[in-house]
Copies of this chain bind each other. A is one copy, B any other.
């Protein structure tokens, strides 16, 4: 019985399927905003701090430019952001919210509450679990670095 090659005992499988489950809860909420889930994360990051570079967003979201560049182009096509090369350093692309992108925040305000409700946990418990998962992420990232 020492066979630990069981799916249901894998922390990785729990995280993997929880991630998909979250996506399914978000889907209808984000459809109303015309955003996918990764696009929503990028917008949240820009609402926190406008005018970030592609690389800066990548560091915050843990994504590569090969993922972000097409995603940001789609956000630009949707009219939520503008992408422009920095004048000081022509290598850098700065991403700025459009008026419409700024306005979108109001529509997104209620989303975290919906997710919290769907989780069936109170705020304190969610925050604790969130911190634990972040700690797991940091430990894993450290082990690869």
- A108–B7 Cα distance when bound, in Å, is 13
A140→B18 contact, CB < 8 A: yes
> A134: CB under 8 A from chain B?
yes
Question: Number of A interface residues, CB 8 Å?
Answer: 57
The reply to whether A19 and B21 contact each other, CB–CB distance below 8 Å, is no
Contact flags (1/0) for A38-58 with B, using CB distance below 8 Å?
A: 000100110110000000000
The stretch that binds B, out of A68-76, A84-92, A125-133, is: A125-133
* CB < 8 Å neighbour of A133 from B15, B24, B108, B109: B15
CB-based contact A20/B115 at 8 Å: no
* Residues from chain B with Cβ under 8 Å of A112 in the complex: 4-5, 9-10
